Structure 1
Amino acid sequence: MGRKEKVKKLKDHAFANLRLIEIEYKQIVKKTSQEPDSYNWGELLNDAELKGLYKVRKDRKYASLTVELYAIIEQLLKDIYHTFYDNAYGQTPDVNIILDLEDKLSHRVSFENNTKLLADLRCIIIHEDFSLKKARKSENINMNNRNLFKQLLKDAETYIKNIEVKS
Structure 2
Amino acid sequence: MNKKKKELIKKLSTDALEDLKLLNEEFEQIKSKGNKKKNRKLEEMGFIGDYELESLYEKRKDRKYAALTVELYALVEQLLKDIYKVVKPGDKYKNSSKKNVILDLEEKLKGNFTFENNTQLLANLRSHVVHVDFSLKKARLIFDKSSKSNKKLFKKLLNEVENYITKNLDC
Q: For the Cα contact (< 8 Å) 1:78–1:88, is it kept in 2?
A: no
**TM-score for both structures, normalised by structure 2:** 0.84
Aligned length: 157
Distance (Å, rounded) in 1 between the aligned partners of 2:68 and 2:133: 15
Structure 2, unaligned stretches of length 5 or more? none
- Counterpart of 1:64 (choices 63, 67, 85) is 67
Percentage of identical aligned residues: 46
Structure 1: distance between partners of 2:93 and 2:101: 10
User: 1:29: Cα distance to partner?
Assistant: 0.8
Task: Point out 4+ residue stretches in structure 1 off by more than 3 angstroms.
Answer: 37-41, 53-56
Q: Deviations over 1:96-149 (max 9, x none)?
A: 100000000001122121111101110111110000000011125232000100
Deviations 1:66-92 (A, max 9, x none): 111100000000001000111431122
The one of 5, 10, 17 equivalent to 2:7 is 5
1:148 matched to 2:158? The reply is no
Contact 2:63 2:134 (8 Å CA) reproduced: yes
Higher helix share: 2
Q: Which runs of 5+ in 1 are unaligned?
A: 45-49
Distance 1:131 1:56, change over 3 A: farther
Q: Which moved more, 1:133-142 or 1:153-162?
A: 133-142
In structure 2, the residue matched to 1:85 is 88
RMSD of aligned alpha carbons: 1.9
Report the TM-score, using the length of structure 1 for normalisation: 0.86
Contact 2:33 2:58 in 1 (8 A): no
Instruction: Say if 2:120 is the partner of 1:110.
Output: no
Q: Which residue of 2 is the match for residue 47 of structure 1?
A: none
Q: Are positions 1:99 and 2:103 aligned together?
A: yes
